[in-house]
Amino acid sequence: MKSELLLKIVAEWLYETTFPSLLVRELNDEISQPGTGSITAVVGPRRAGKTFFLFQKIEALVKKGVSRDDILFLDFEDYRLKGFQPEHIDSVIEAFQQLTKKQPRYLFFDEIQQVPDWSKLLRTLHNQRKYSITITGSNSSLLKREIATELRGRYNDVLLMPFSFREYLRFKNIDFSSSALHTSRRGIVNGAFEDWIFNGGYPEVCALTEKSSRRHLLQNYYETVFYRDIIDRYSVKARDLLDGVMSAVLNGSGELFSVSSYTSQLQKSGNSGSKRSVASYLRYLQEAFFLLSSEKFSWSARKRTMNPEKVYLTDTGFSLLTLSGSDYRGKLLETAVAGEFFRRGSRTCYYKGKRECDFVVMTDSHPESAWQVCWNLDNNNLQREIGGLEEAFKELNISNGGIITFNSTENLQDNSRKIQIIPAIEWFLM
- Per-residue pLDDT tens digits for 240-251: 999 999 999 999
Q: What is the pLDDT of residues 217-229, one digit of tens each?
A: 999 999 999 999 9
Burial readout 243-274 (b: 16 or more C-beta within 10 A, e: otherwise): ebbbebbbebbbeebebeebbeebeeeeeebe
Whether residue 394 lies inside any domain: the answer is no
Element (H, E) at 311: strand 309-313
Q: What band does 139 get if pLDDT is binned at 50, 70 and 90?
A: confident
- Output the pLDDT for position 253: 95
**Average pLDDT for residues 367-384, to the nearest whole number?**
93
Q: What band does 28 get if pLDDT is binned at 50, 70 and 90?
A: low
Pick 372 or 413 by higher pLDDT: 372
Whether residue 102 lies inside any domain: the answer is yes
| β pairing state of 155-159 and 39-43 | parallel
- Output the pLDDT for position 272: 87
Q: What is the pLDDT of residues 77-115, one digit of tens each?
A: 999 999 999 999 999 999 999 999 999 999 999 999 889
CATH of residue 126's domain is 3.40.50.300
Whether residue 114 lies inside any domain: the answer is yes
Whether residue 362 lies inside any domain: the answer is no
Whether residue 305 lies inside any domain: the answer is no
- Output the pLDDT for position 331: 94
With 60 as the cut, is the pLDDT of residue 326 above it?
Answer: no
Where do the DSSP E strands lie in 44-196? Answer: 71-75, 106-110, 132-137, 155-159
- Output the pLDDT for position 249: 96
Burial readout 86-122 (b: 16 or more C-beta within 10 A, e: otherwise): bebbebbbebbeeebeeebbbbbbbbbbbbeebbebb
Measured in degrees and rounded to the nearest 5, phi and psi for residue 379 equal -65, -20
Query: If you average pLDDT over every residue of the chain, what do you get?
Result: 91
- Output the pLDDT for position 149: 62
- Output the pLDDT for position 392: 96
How many H helices and E strands in the chain?
18, 15
SS3 content of the chain, % helix, strand, coil (to 5): 50, 20, 35
Whether residue 340 lies inside any domain: the answer is no
| β pairing state of 291-296 and 309-313 | antiparallel
Q: Please report the sign of the dihedral spanned by the C-alpha atoms of residue 110, residue 113, residue 115, residue 121.
A: positive
Q: What is the pLDDT of residues 246-286, one digit of tens each?
A: 999 999 999 999 999 999 999 999 988 999 999 999 999 99
- Output the pLDDT for position 329: 92
- Output the pLDDT for position 120: 85
**Number of domains composing the chain:** 1
How far is the CA of 90 from the CAs of 3, 94, 96, 121, in angstroms?
A: 10, 6, 10, 10
| β pairing state of 132-137 and 106-110 | parallel
Whether residue 289 lies inside any domain: the answer is no
- Output the pLDDT for position 414: 61
- Output the pLDDT for position 275: 95
With 60 as the cut, is the pLDDT of residue 145 above it?
Answer: no
Confidence (pTM): 0.92
With 80 as the cut, is the pLDDT of residue 148 above it?
Answer: no
Measured in degrees and rounded to the nearest 5, phi and psi for residue 408 equal -115, 150
Question: Range of 121's domain?
Answer: 3-160
Measured in degrees and rounded to the nearest 5, phi and psi for residue 31 equal -75, 130
- The residues near 428 (Cβ < 8 Å, ≥ 6 apart) are 164, 165, 166, 193, 336, 340
Q: Is 188 exposed, middle or buried (0-12, 13-18, 19+ CB in 10 A)?
A: middle
Whether residue 352 lies inside any domain: the answer is no
CA-CA distance, 95 to 239, in Å (whole number)?
Answer: 42
**Which one, of 55, 77, 78, lies nearest residue 68 by Cα?**
55
